A and B are shown apart, each in its own frame.
Chain A
Amino acid sequence: NAGVTQTPKFQVLKTGQSMTLQCAQDMNHEYMSWYRQDPGMGLRLIHYSVGAGITDQGEVPNGYNVSRSTTEDFPLRLLSAAPSQTSVYFCASRQYGRSYEQYFGPGTRLTVT
């Protein structure tokens, strides 16, 4: 199993550009989520999904869109990048009912200039 994979590892965007951060997992997990980590901070939840076709907002959803068309993939879209979205983005997944688990991807470091 590859676990949770994220692409790209690094990305630089100009203000106003859009892009999609990719996340995939091969563990057949129902739950997937996106977090961001700002300097000197812990992770904060952006959006999450409890299954294909079902998504919901987390703590800091503004400026981001998500969709979940398959169990495996959970892309995060930045609609119009802003410098405040400079951060490290982590995708995570777990199986429903196993609240003691949380698998994280390796992260994507995004810089918006």
Chain B
Amino acid sequence: AQKITQTQPGMFVQEKEAVTLDCTYDTSDPSYGLFWYKQPSSGEMIFLIYQGSYDQQNATEGRYSLNFQKARKSANLVISASQLGDSAMYFCAMREGSQGGSEKLVFGKGTKLTVNP
């Protein structure tokens, strides 16, 4: 079974609007962390936001917020006020384990976001 599922291969949004990218995960470990990365066409992996399984509040970083619903095992990324530069692939990933944590980051297949002017 896939540990990270991103069900939207592609998404379109108008500039200045908000968009939600979906991510569901599967783990039996009570301690885990969820990441979102942006990969522009240039290819680098850019860290956006992190949510720990024990964090009480949803993570936010500027225009990025993570809608963490633990019971539903979902960790959706919300981008507010989309910009043309937000056009990229977006990956959800999970690390299991407490303390140092597992070294393995498990990635979803990604969502390609296109921001239209």
Contact = CB atoms under 8 A, between A and B. Distances in A.
Dominant SS at the A interface? strand
A33 B106 CA distance: 13
Interface string B87-117: 0000101010111110111111110000000
Interface residues of B, number: 26
A45 B104 contact: yes
A43 B107 contact: yes
A53 interface: no
Interface stretch (A18-26, A63-71, A72-80, A95-103): A95-103
A100 B99 CA distance: 11
A50 interface: yes
B103 A48 contact: yes
B111 to A, nearest CB: 11
A41 B101 contact: no
Contacts of B97: 99
B68 interface: no
B38 to A, nearest CB: 11
B33 to A, nearest CB: 6
Contacts of B91: 42-43
A82 interface: no
Contacts of B12: none
Given A42-B108, A44-B107, A96 B43 contact: no
Interface of B: 4, 33, 35, 37, 43-45, 47, 50, 52, 91, 93, 95, 97-101, 103-110
Listed from nearest, the 5 A-B pairs whose CB atoms lie closest are A42-B107, A99-B101, A104-B45, A48-B103, A100-B50
